[in-house]
Structure 1
């Protein structure tokens, strides 16, 4: 099982079926906050939806196409981060993430994204890590900015969220810049 201890409070663990109830509870409790930027939240209405998603995450991991982990803060699941896509041909890992609102502002996501970036370069031998975030989502954009990623541009109307298109800022980090 993949588990990575970041510090005394934060660690990452490969998502498992047993996480479904806690992940669903977090999504449900923070639904209004999360749905502002995440289109899948409105389609996650019961624990079975989360279990089905986890099966997809596990399949993606088994096929070397993605890797989804839960973020643990003081041993409790508080969010998720992932390589939404692993492009082995071009050696690019695409990171995504979300965190329950109660746990924001503690540096948890920055630490988690840093650990994922480290893993992409050191273990997966990727050349590049990309992070995208809605242009108006300042909290999400602050993560790659704090980590020194380069803002590479904006993709217009990249995603349909809450009956509107949102533009995405694209951030990239090259392996040679990271090390």
Structure 2
């Protein structure tokens, strides 16, 4: 009789380990997918930037410094390639900083475009600007979805008794996207 009890205990423990491990794999894959979606949106923005820069160049040739800063920021941002396995708070912060520089440079580019009434009425510029605005919204949604998946995964990794299985098989916490420094203050608009 005792033999059957031990067999039952071993079977229950094995089922728990297998189901916990498979749960962690599923949650980690959800984080990986969410990260891929974030990268896809950043890539979309990077792909749109050359078109926007070229459109503005046609109207504002003497604004070369602004155009160069946009191109440099895009180049720097696309040179940072992270996989979800390389995500640490430090690497994510560097990635966010590079993407923040792109956003800042785009803001300066849009400000330059405001100085050219013909450009503001140009259909190509209007369409590209709308695409960039939509992309920024998509980036925000993708980052939020990534954080939600990372939160689900991190919770599972930290909860008892799953944390024992997570530690045994090397499942570690994932970092979150955080707000860039200075975003807690409202931007000052000067007209």
Choose between structure 1 and 2 for higher RCO, CA contacts under 8 A separated by at least 6 residues.
2
More helix by share: 2
What is the TM-score normalised by the length of structure 1? 0.32
Rg larger in 1 or in 2?
A: 2
